Every structure is written in structure tokens, then in C-alpha cells.
């Protein structure tokens, strides 16, 4: 028969302490892993938010370009209206002169321009 091996109390205490240390390390690693997962999820959320913001920014830039085009179109339209207004003023002045001649003729006098 083999002689029974006895472990000195100091060795048993060290084994228990090492076992406790290993368990504590595993608990810390589990906590670190959970923290990393939470941070990973949060980083994914931030990346999605950034992508959404980039899309919104692109949409706003497109809208701004559209507004600039509309503004240019309105400026062109305004210039066209100013030209039309000037043409109408000229035509109105010509008609006024012709009406003056007609009125003078109807009153029996010579036309104002001597015709």
C-alpha cells in the first residue's frame, strides 16, 4: 500500500488562494467582456448616427443647390419682367402720342407733330 500523502496546511492554503485568484480573474474578464460588448454596441449606434447625419447633410446640400438654382431662375424672371415693363412703358408712350394726335384731329386742329 502506498503511504498517504499529507499536504501541509500552508500548501493547501496557497492552493485555495490561487483558486480564489483564478476565480476573481475570470470574474474580471467576464466584466471586461461585458463592458467591451456594451461599448461595441454604442460605437455601432454612433456610427449609424454619423451615417444618418451625413445623409441629412447631403440632402441639405442638395436642397441648398436647388434653392440657389431657383433663386437664379427668379432673378432671370425678374430681369425679363423688367424688360417687359420697359417695353410696355415705351409702347404706352407711343400710344399716348398717337392718342394726342387723334384727339387733336378730332378737335379740328392740325396734328401736334405737323402732319
pLDDT band at 111 (very low <50, low <70, confident <90, very high): low
Query: Bigger pLDDT: 1 or 19?
Result: 19
Percent above pLDDT 70 for the chain: 90
pLDDT of residue 4: 56
Residue 45: pLDDT over 90: yes
pLDDT of residue 110: 72
What is d(CA 68, CA 80) in angstroms, rounded to the nearest whole number?
A: 18
pLDDT in tens, 52-68: 999 999 999 999 999 99
Question: 69: phi > 0 → left, psi -120 to 50 → alpha, else beta; which?
Answer: alpha
pLDDT of residue 108: 87
CB 111 within 8 A of CB 104: yes
Amino acid at each position: 500500500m502506498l503511504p498517504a500523502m499529507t499536504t501541509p496546511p500552508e500548501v493547501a492554503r496557497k492552493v485555495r488562494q490561487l483558486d480564489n485568484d483564478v476565480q476573481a480573474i475570470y470574474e474580471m474578464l467576464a466584466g471586461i467582456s461585458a463592458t467591451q460588448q456594451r461599448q461595441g454596441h454604442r460605437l455601432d449606434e454612433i456610427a449609424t448616427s454619423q451615417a444618418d447625419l451625413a445623409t441629412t447633410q447631403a440632402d441639405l446640400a442638395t436642397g441648398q443647390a436647388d434653392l440657389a438654382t431657383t433663386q437664379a431662375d427668379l432673378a432671370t424672371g425678374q430681369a425679363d419682367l423688367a424688360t417687359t415693363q420697359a417695353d410696355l412703358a415705351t409702347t404706352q408712350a407711343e400710344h399716348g402720342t398717337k392718342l394726342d394726335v387723334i384727339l387733336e384731329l378730332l378737335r379740328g386742329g392740325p396734328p401736334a407733330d405737323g402732319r
